[in-house]
């Protein structure tokens, strides 16, 4: 995982803003390097800046540059599509392939084959062209900013919130395909012209730019479809839109409070049992790739240690429970797995700020410590996700007694939340700005930081997670009808409406969640990995009819994500397999901490940098 950036200036040299450079450096603590290139006879200068978090093979500083003058910046993971061993570095491998590409079609064919999350910037010296883009889902962040007066463009993994209004705001690069900026052509133009090479399914008609859901670009930029008609081949199968039948279950036999027996009844159906087993197999492979691709270490010099390489954003809900069990299959048995559980303490009435004379010589209980502003373990942090997280830990221990699970209780006070939001988080969430982005962005930032407490016996001790890989459950709700809005749509428009809603969810996930979460987690020098959005997993689920994925005529805790619940039962889970969906902002209680009357879609004034 890396922080990558390219600044192209057609009028003068460019110096990166200190805050932007600081945010890039935090993403890549192991190597930092800059390359400046004056582009041939073109009146243009490019500044390439890359900051590497060592995650694959041997440490490879970026930007990479070859003898032909090509420059490559890569922020991604190749989990398939190219022949790579565990000890190989994917950046070097991809650069070698790109440098041998003789046409745009060759470049697109190469990128179409890559399986895994990525964002890249590639300067093709012979053509004076800059290529850049994100993977199909936008699992890696990439932002752009254009200069309306001084003609420039900046492309970067992460930026910084701009104080006040700006005539050149940051925007997320839409994950609609790969973009090409012809530096020679653009040096002669008064405005910038970008070419798009879009993702399409085989046999699908190439869309026009107007058909894509663009965020408005500045007047100084024009975006056009490439003249050659070339496209990237979609890495996933189209969604099965069939609505011709419904699940073969008698819904009248289910009460309003579903039970394990209700869920087990579906497993008496051979087809449902078979599909649940297939989901386990494909999801297990996705988890395996994401927990085993780690920095290469020479076995001859490798020293044993008891620190975790892998952590999971963990609420004890079904998504994170399944990830934990599947990670247990593939992480070496002697290695612990960190379960990161975040909770926000509700504001309490004001109390005395210092200990009384009677308290000075006494050992403080956790509750007394929290009265003084210390985020120690306390019943005041027993939010819903903490309660289900502890219950989930007990289930995991019962099913995997040989595994050490570090259940990290991450407790956040309102004071620390406000401090870290203004210092760091607002810059990472930017350019997103809603109340929902604030709530989830802050919750994920504290969770991924991994600073909290673990319980040894009856005692708590401070703990900081060392894991550089952070697994998240994003994608499960979007594909398996886990949100309440899916039930609303189903009630209003039946299966046809539900299928359309799920297709829309998958299509917009890059702009709603993934870039933000990549910026947030990457700020700690850690890498977010998304097993539920593995291309093979998505293709498998897309191939199923909707009634094999969810049955929303059934009660909450049963009908939504039905297929995943059946998989959970086959893995041996009980109580967690029946938990209804609870959004992170409500489960962690951050949504109740500052203003309970806001709407999720409202613009959040707290994200404004000061």
Domain limits, the chain: 2-233, 259-291+305-346+374-488+532-607
User: Residue 88 burial (CB < 10 Å; 0-12/13-18/19+)?
Assistant: middle
Instruction: In whole angstroms, give the CA distance from residue 436 to residue 601.
Output: 6
Q: Give the pLDDT score at 608.
A: 83
Instruction: In whole angstroms, give the CA distance from residue 85 to residue 65.
Output: 23
Candidates 281, 302, 213; CA nearest to 511 is 213
Query: How many CB atoms are closer than 10 A to CB 149?
Result: 9
Instruction: In whole angstroms, give the CA distance from residue 92 to residue 99.
Output: 11
Instruction: In whole angstroms, give the CA distance from residue 20 to residue 521.
Output: 16
C-beta separation of 49 from 158 below 8 A: no
C-beta separation of 444 from 521 below 8 A: yes
User: Residue 349 burial (CB < 10 Å; 0-12/13-18/19+)?
Assistant: exposed
**C-alpha angle with apex 15: 11 to 20, nearest 5 degrees?**
130
Instruction: In whole angstroms, give the CA distance from residue 205 to residue 207.
Output: 6
**C-alpha angle with apex 228: 225 to 230, nearest 5 degrees?**
75
C-beta separation of 57 from 95 below 8 A: no
Q: Give the pLDDT score at 166.
A: 66
2 noted as active-site residue: yes
C-beta separation of 34 from 5 below 8 A: no
10-residue mean pLDDT series, the chain (610 residues):
91 78 93 89 88 88 94 95 84 93 95 97 94 97 88 93 73 95 87 93 83 74 91 95 64 72 93 97 97 73 77 97 98 95 77 48 44 65 94 96 96 94 94 93 97 92 96 96 94 95 91 92 96 98 96 93 97 94 87 81 84
Structure tokens that stand for 547 in this block: 């009634």
Candidates 574, 284, 258; CA nearest to 276 is 284
Q: Give the pLDDT score at 251.
A: 47
Q: Give the pLDDT score at 57.
A: 81
Q: Give the pLDDT score at 300.
A: 58
Contacts of 423 (CB under 8 A, 6+ apart): none
Domain 259-291+305-346+374-488+532-607, CATH class in plain words: alpha beta
DSSP string, 360-407: HTSPPPHHHHHHTT---S-GGG--HHHHHHHHHHHHHHHH-TTS-EEE
Whether pTM > 0.85 for this model: the answer is: yes
Query: How many CB atoms are closer than 10 A to CB 333?
Result: 9
Candidates 134, 2, 129; CA nearest to 56 is 2
Candidates 413, 387, 362; CA nearest to 579 is 387
The dihedrals phi and psi of 180, each to the nearest 5 degrees, come to -130, 130
* No. of helices (H) and no. of strands (E), the chain: 19, 21
Which whole-number Å values give the CA distances from 52 to 99, 261, 280, 608, in the listed order?
21, 50, 33, 29
Q: Give the pLDDT score at 610.
A: 65
Instruction: In whole angstroms, give the CA distance from residue 446 to residue 585.
Output: 12
Q: Which residues pair with 119 in a beta bridge?
A: 75, 134
What is 2-233's CATH number, 3.40.50.300, 3.40.720.10, 1.10.1040.10, 3.60.20.10? Answer: 3.60.20.10
Instruction: In whole angstroms, give the CA distance from residue 578 to residue 475.
Output: 19
Q: Give the pLDDT score at 304.
A: 64
Instruction: In whole angstroms, give the CA distance from residue 491 to residue 567.
Output: 26
């Amino acid at each position: 995982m890396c922080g990558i950036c390219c600044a192209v200036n057609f009028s003068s040299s460019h110096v990166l803003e200190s805050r932007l450079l600081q945010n890039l450096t935090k993403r890549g603590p192991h190597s930092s390097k800059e390359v400046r290139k004056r582009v041939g006879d073109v009146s243009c200068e490019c500044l390439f800046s890359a900051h590497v978090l060592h995650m694959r093979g041997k440490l490879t500083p970026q930007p990479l540059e070859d003898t032909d003058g090509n420059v490559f910046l890569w922020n991604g993971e190749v989990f398939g599509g190219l022949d790579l061993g565990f000890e190989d570095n994917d950046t070097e491998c991809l650069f070698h392939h790109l440098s041998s590409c003789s046409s745009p079609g060759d470049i697109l064919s190469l990128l179409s084959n890559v399986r895994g999350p990525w964002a890249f910037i590639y300067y093709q010296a012979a053509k004076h062209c800059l290529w850049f883009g994100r993977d199909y889902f936008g699992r890696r962040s990439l932002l752009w900013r254009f200069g309306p007066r001084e003609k420039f463009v900046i492309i970067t993994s992460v930026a910084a919130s701009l104080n006040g209004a700006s005539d050149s705001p940051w925007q997320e690069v839409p994950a609609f395909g790969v973009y090409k900026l012809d530096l020679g052509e653009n040096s002669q133009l008064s405005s910038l012209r970008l070419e798009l090479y879009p993702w399409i399914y085989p046999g699908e008609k190439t869309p026009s730019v107007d058909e894509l859901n663009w965020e408005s670009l500045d007047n100084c930029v024009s975006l056009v479809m490439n003249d050659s008609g070339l496209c990237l081949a979609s890495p996933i199968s189209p969604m099965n839109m069939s609505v011709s039948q419904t699940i073969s279950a008698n819904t009248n036999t289910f009460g309003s409070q579903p039970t394990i027996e209700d869920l087990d009844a579906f497993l008496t159906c051979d087809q449902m049992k078979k599909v649940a087993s297939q989901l386990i197999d494909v999801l297990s492979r996705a988890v395996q790739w994401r927990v085993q691709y780690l920095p290469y270490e020479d076995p001859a010099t490798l020293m044993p240690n008891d620190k975790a390489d892998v952590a999971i954003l963990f609420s004890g809900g079904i998504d994170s429970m399944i990830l934990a069990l599947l990670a247990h299959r593939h992480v070496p048995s002697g290695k612990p797995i960190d379960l990161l559980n975040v909770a926000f303490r509700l504001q309490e009435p004001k109390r005395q700020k210092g200990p009384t004379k009677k308290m000075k010589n006494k050992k403080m209980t956790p509750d007394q410590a929290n009265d003084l502003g210390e985020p120690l373990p306390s019943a005041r942090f027993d939010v819903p996700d903490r309660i289900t997280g502890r219950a989930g830990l007990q289930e995991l221990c019962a099913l995997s007694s040989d595994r050490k699970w570090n259940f990290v209780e991450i407790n956040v006070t309102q004071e620390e939340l406000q401090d870290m939001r203004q210092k760091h988080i607002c810059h990472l969430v930017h350019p997103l700005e809603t109340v929902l982005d604030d709530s989830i962005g802050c919750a994920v930032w504290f969770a991924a930081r991994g600073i909290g407490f673990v319980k040894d016996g009856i005692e708590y001790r401070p703990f900081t997670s060392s894991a550089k890989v952070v697994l998240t459950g994003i994608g499960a709700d979007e594909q398996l009808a886990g949100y309440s809005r899916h039930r609303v749509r189903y009630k209003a428009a039946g299966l046809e409406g539900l299928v359309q809603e799920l297709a829309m969810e998958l299509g917009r996930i890059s702009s709603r969640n993934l870039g933000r979460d990549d910026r947030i987690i990457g700020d700690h020098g850690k890498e977010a990995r998304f097993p539920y959005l593995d291309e093979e997993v998505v293709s498998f689920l897309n191939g199923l009819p909707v009634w094999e994925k969810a049955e929303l005529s059934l009660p909450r805790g049963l009908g939504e994500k039905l297929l995943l619940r059946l998989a959970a039962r086959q893995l041996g889970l009980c109580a967690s397999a029946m938990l209804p969906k609870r959004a992170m902002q409500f489960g962690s209680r951050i949504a109740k901490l500052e203003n309970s009357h806001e709407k999720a879609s409202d613009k959040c004034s707290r994200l404004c940098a000061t």
